[in-house]
Structure 1
Amino acid sequence: MTQQHRLRGIFLASVAAMLWGISGVAASSLFTLNSRVTALWLSEIRMISAGLILLIIARIVGAQPLKIWRQKSTAIRIVSYGLLGMIPVQLCYFEAVKYGNAPIATIIQFLGPFIISLYFLFFKRITPTRPEAVGMIMAFFGTLLIVTHGHLNSLAISPVVLFWGGLSAIGVATNTLIPRPLLPKFGALSVTGWGLLVAGIFLNIFGPFWQVAVHVDGPAIGLLMYIIIFGTVIPFLMFAHALADILPTTASLLDAFEPLAATVFSVTFLNVQLTSYDFFGGALIILAVMALSLNGHKMLHFLRHLGMSEN
């Protein structure tokens, strides 16, 4: 791998993470601009549109997206991926943004890698290493600062935000673990495209987006297009290409640009007020995830083993 390829991978992964972070800010703006827009409606539109686009791209580049449905085991897994992975990581995140703000929602969601570490600990009996243990302690205190602002007898953020944000962090874990065995066989485009589409179709059973009387004008359409194209499709493609040039551990470190971008854009353009506790707590969580990523060889080894054992 040349230095030029490595720099290209770092650039693509960094920009992808920033675009994901800004999509939360765009969603927050859309919720403020149009009170009729709900997290459910936005998630349905985003997942169905982005899923279809990714599947079309997969077909154009020569993949065979329909092959994933030919075996019962892979069909069940892709449905599980959509329902248990995509829905919490998309819908629950937007709910946290709607009831709170993009920086706090993104930072809480950023705890996802520690959910994976806890999964390893309790279900696979893989004990954390020293850097992982230190990272968990840092993440705990960072979350505590954000949630309490130093006052342990009261909450500084709404329990609703904490609830949805916590579910979105769990979604990051399931979104990582469930589709892993499918990726080598069917490719990231097909797997992600079907996961999004399955999730979007399932949510429409409970609240069809076309039954919601949402009037979208020019600014709302622009924000919606950004969330679908620049906040979902393009960053996914960029991140997938980045993984061809850099290690997954490096890519995980660059994910830190997501909460940073959400914070900078929210404070600059939406006048979101964050306290020193929020900034310091967020910094602790970001550093904790970096510590976990730097020691990510154990996680990668487990994911490879998981993929082989479930094929």
Structure 2
Amino acid sequence: MVQQQHHLRGVLLASAACILWGISGVAASTLFTLNPHVTALWLTQVRMITAGFLLLVMGQVVGVHPFQIWHDKKAGIRVVSYGLLGLVPVQLFYFEAVKFGNAPIATILQFLGPFIISIYYFLFKHLIPTRPEAIGMVMAFIGTLLIVTHGHLNSLAISPIVLFWGGLSAIGVATNTLIPRPLLPRFGAISVTGWGLFIAGICLNVFGPLWRATVTLTLAEWGLIALIIILGTIFPFLMFAHSLAYILPTTASLLDAFEPLSATVFSVIFLSVQLTGFDLFGGLLIILAVMVLSLNGHKMLRFILRRKVD
């Protein structure tokens, strides 16, 4: 019973995190449209450095001692790897794929991340995905595919550069999930996430110094950036990191399907985007996939059969 409660808690945390990421995606899309001077690199730098710094300050205030992680050399190397190999590709490379292609193609490519995790566990851990995970993986992928393509699979044209950035972002989904996992029980999500974001943001200055950028923003645009940093970065990364204490990385990554679903819903609400039957059916598949992951498959089947008998 306790184990089921922990699993449900992990599923809810990961799902809520992905919904917030979807909201931040809508905010970022709006920002790129309003201000063409805002680049993916600049926005990623501001997002990472500010969010990372705020998390580290928060950690110091609440007494989690964020600097303690640097007393362990191996932990320090892993948190740097988390920032550079996990957070950079899952954020910056995804935006680059959107820039050179479009959001649907980039989302499809990034959603290949759970498959990469499954391949990793199969090759190096000899762990075969359970039947609910396999069913959930297929359902969630099909649902996401329907949402981002509206069923027109033959209309996708993936150039090599889009495939390159999208493939790296998919690998980032896997590394972003796997790398920090051993650190979380020892140092906590605030310290690990804070240092990962801050280090990644600082290192990105090698490709484009933040202080040399000339970007003029309106008050509304600053508000969008604040939303991306607080609701789209700090809260979801903490929740997603905490979810890994209760569920497997494969399960947590599959719940990332909520990101395109929430992005679609909030685009309809705030950007007047029209939903099609493919959107509705894809969303239903994603919700069912979450149910398959959250509940025991045999119990669900017995429940359905019992309802038919009654």
TM-score, normalised to structure 2, is 0.76
**Residue-by-residue CA offset, 1:222-261 (whole Å, 9 max, x unaligned):** 11111111211233445567789xx437977865543221
Pairing 1:98-113 to 2, within 5 Å after superposition: 98-99=99-100, 105-106=106-107, 108-113=109-114
Residue in 2 aligned with 1:79? 80
CA displacement 1:31-59 (0-9 Å, x = unmatched): 10111111111000000000000001111
Q: Which amino acid aligns with 2:219?
A: G
1:112-261 matches, cutoff 5 A: 112-138=113-139, 141=142, 149-152=151-154, 155=156, 163-237=164-238, 247-248=246-247, 256-261=257-262
Q: What amino acid does structure 2 have at the position aligned with 1:207?
A: G
The equivalent residue for 1:265 is 266
Contact 2:55 2:190 in 1 (8 A): yes
Separation in structure 2 between the aligned mates of residue 6 and residue 293 of structure 1, nearest angstrom: 7
Deviations 1:181-200 (A, max 9, x none): 11111111001100001110
Indicate yes or no: 2:33 matched with 1:32: yes
- Kindly indicate whether residue 70 of structure 2 is the aligned counterpart of residue 69 of structure 1: yes
Report the alpha carbon displacement of residue 169 of structure 1 after superposing the two structures with TM.
2.7
Q: 1:82 to 1:173 in 2, by over 3 A?
A: same
> How much does 1:210 deviate?
1.9
The offset of 1:170, in angstroms, is 2.0
Q: Do the aligned partners of 2:114 and 2:253 also contact (CA within 8 Å) in 1?
A: no
Write the distance in 2 (CA, Å) between the matches of 1:26 and 1:52: 21
2:57 maps to 56
Q: Distance in 1 between matches of 2:290 and 2:121?
A: 16
Amino acid across the alignment from 2:44: S
Q: Per the alignment, do residues 290 and 57 of structure 1 end up closer, same or farther by CA in structure 2, a change over 3 Å counting?
A: same
Matches of 1:78 and 1:224 in 2, distance apart? 25
Output the amino acid matched with 1:129: T
- Structure 2 unaligned segments of length 5 or more: list them: 298-310
Structure 1 residue aligned with 2:303: none
Q: 1:278, 1:243 → 2: CA distance?
A: 29
Are residues 144 and 5 of structure 1, via their aligned partners in 2, closer, same or farther at CA, if it must alter by over 3 Å? Answer: closer
Q: Answer whether contact 1:148 1:156 (CA < 8 A) is retained.
A: no
Structure 1 gap ranges (5+): 297-311
Measured at CA, do residues 188 and 45 of structure 1 come closer, stay the same or move farther in structure 2, by a change above 3 Å?
same
* Shift of residue 121, structure 1, vs aligned partner: 1.8
Residue type of the alignment partner of 1:186: F
Give percent identity, aligned residues only: 69
Q: CA deviation at 1:22?
A: 0.3
Paired residues, what number? 292
- 1:219–1:102 CA distance, 2 compared to 1 (3 A): farther
